[in-house]
Amino acid sequence: MIQFLKIILLGILYIVISPLLVAILALAMVYGLFVFVFLLFKSVFLFFTGCTIFSDYPEDVAAKKILGQIKEGNAPASTGTPQ
Amino acid sequence: MRWLITLSEKEQRMLIILFILLVAVLALVGLIGVGVRKIMAFQARKVDEGMSYLVTTKVIKDERHFRYVARKKNYRLVFAQYFFPLVILGLDVLFLYLYIAISGNQAIIQEMFSHDARGVGTLFFVFDWANIPTATFFGLVLPSDWPPLLNAPHFVLAAWPNYIFVTLASVSAVWLMVATQAFIARSWRIYKKSRTIFIKSLDAINTLDNINK
């Protein structure tokens, strides 16, 4: 019963703030469209330089390097006597 | 309670039905809201996928750097998720433009949503809401019956360009809205996590532990 009342109260809350939610959604969509257009131009430019906007960032490269080193450190030695 | 006694049987029944309808609508809205929040929590997990290994390897060590990289990755996802719906929308507009250019019939745009010509309205029940039957209930004028039916669903072959255009536009609009919702969900998670994962808290420190060591 308390759960049901909670849902009804949430329903009232969502109806009251629905204009705000719609406004946030609309603003985010406009912002997203600007981001899309900007990245579209950037991707076209990068395409002609032989790159892509989906390539790894320097942070990704560094993290992958560290993860590789950790994996190598944990890997069992493969130079043992042949079976 | 005195005014309730003065209500007729019919009015009391109507009041109960109105109350049940109101509760049902509120519960439905509440459930939809809960569902949307769960979907947003699921969509926000993309941030964790892209950022967790950068934090655990300590490549990112502070809040500002975290937000900078996460925002850039978020924008990439926006680009990827907006791409197909916008392509569909673009092709849809191109299709209608070519149809008008070839047929020379611009009136199809004005008839897009009509129910009595070549519009999408022909596929749906259309009610005459302006002339809905009403009854006076406790001083209020309330709807008392369904409004007259203006259109029953029927297929109009000549309306095929509008059927295709509106269907594709609706699909891409819903797709864009879901992608935007995901964008908001990820942005909120980035903001929230950036405030908490690099926090220097005294709560986690127990000096006695250090002394014992």
Residue range A27-79, pLDDT digits in tens: 999 999 999 999 999 999 999 988 888 888 889 999 999 989 888 887 665 44
To which residue do tokens 């009342």 refer? Answer: A5
Region B156-171: mean pLDDT is: 93
Question: Which residues in chain B have their CB less than 8 angstroms from residue A35's CB?
Answer: 75, 78-79
pLDDT band at A81 (very low <50, low <70, confident <90, very high): very low
Helix axes B45-56, B63-103, angle to 10 degrees: 140
For residue B186, how many other CB atoms are within 10 A of its CB? 24
For residue B12, pLDDT over 90 is answered with no
B143 pLDDT higher than 60? yes
**Of residues B25, B33, B75, nearest to A10 (C-beta):** B33
Q: How many CB pairs under 8 A join A and B?
A: 87
Please tell me the predicted confidence (pLDDT) of residue B69.
93
Q: Residue B114 corresponds to which tokens in the numbers above?
A: 């009509």
Residues 40-99 of B with CB under 8 A from A: 53-54, 57, 59-60, 69, 72-73, 75-76, 78-80, 82-83, 86
Q: Is A24:A14 a contact under the CB 8 Å cutoff?
A: no
The residue ranking higher by pLDDT, B26 or B135, is: B26
Residue A80's pLDDT band (boundaries 50, 70, 90)?
A: very low
pLDDT mean across residues, chain B: 88
Per-residue pLDDT at B213 exceeds 80 = no
pTM: 0.81
pLDDT digits (tens, 9 = 90+) for B170-188: 999 999 999 999 999 999 9
- Determine the distance in angstroms separating the CA of A41 from the nearest CA of chain B, rounded to an integer: 11
Does B46 have pLDDT greater than 80? Answer: yes
Is the predicted pLDDT of residue B60 greater than 60, yes or no? Answer: yes
Residue A82 has pLDDT above 60, yes or no: no
Mean pLDDT of B140-165: 88
Query: What Cα–Cα distance (Å) separates residue B180 from each residue in A65, B6, B175, B184?
Result: 33, 52, 9, 6
CB neighbour list of residue A48: distance below 8 Å, 6 or more residues apart: none
Find the mean pLDDT for residues B29-34. Answer: 94
Judge: B75–A43 Cβ closer than 8 Å, yes or no.
no
CA-to-CA distance for B144 and B149, rounded, in angstroms? 15
Q: Give the pLDDT mean for B148-155.
A: 89
Whether residue B210 has pLDDT greater than 80:
no
What residue spans define the domains of chain B?
Answer: 2-198
Predicted confidence (pLDDT) at residue B138 exceeds the cutoff of 80: no
Q: Give the pLDDT band (50/70/90) at residue B21.
A: very high
Strand partners, B136: B141
Give the ipTM of the model, two decimals please: 0.81
